Amino acid sequence: MSIARTTSVVSMKCKLCARMSREGESLCRYHSEALVALKRGYERWNEAYSGLSWIGYLNRVKTAHDTGQWVKDVITLEQSNTT
């Protein structure tokens, strides 16, 4: 359980903005919260409309008018991850 490589500890930067992320995470707290909210929303959607794919869900949320910018950023990242 030792952390062997400490030489390259650099402050992590969020993949989506210039904010610092928490150690070991690739997203800042705002974007990681948006991702959590997104996944929670998907679980709810899946119960209501079973069979909706993750990608299908992302597309729906992205085009919804009340989707916040943080969430949209995360969706863009997720979409590029799942090509």
Binding residues (CB under 5 A) for Zn ion: these are: 14, 16-17, 19, 28, 31
Q: Taking the complex as a whole, how short is the minimal distance between the CB of residue 28 and Zn ion, in angstroms? A: 3
Whichever of 12 and 52 has its CB closer to Zn ion, that residue is: 12
Q: Alpha-carbon distance 80 to 73, whole Å? A: 11
Closest residue to Zn ion: CB criterion: 14
DSSP codes of every residue in 24-74: T-SS-HHHHHHHHHHHHHHHHHHHHSTT--HHHHHHHHHH-TT--HHHHHH
Whichever of 25 and 52 has its CB closer to Zn ion, that residue is: 25
Whichever of 31 and 61 has its CB closer to Zn ion, that residue is: 31
Q: Taking the complex as a whole, how short is the minimal distance between the CB of residue 46 and Zn ion, in angstroms? A: 26
Q: Taking the complex as a whole, how short is the minimal distance between the CB of residue 19 and Zn ion, in angstroms? A: 5
HSE toward the beta carbon, residue 23, CA cutoff 13 A: 5
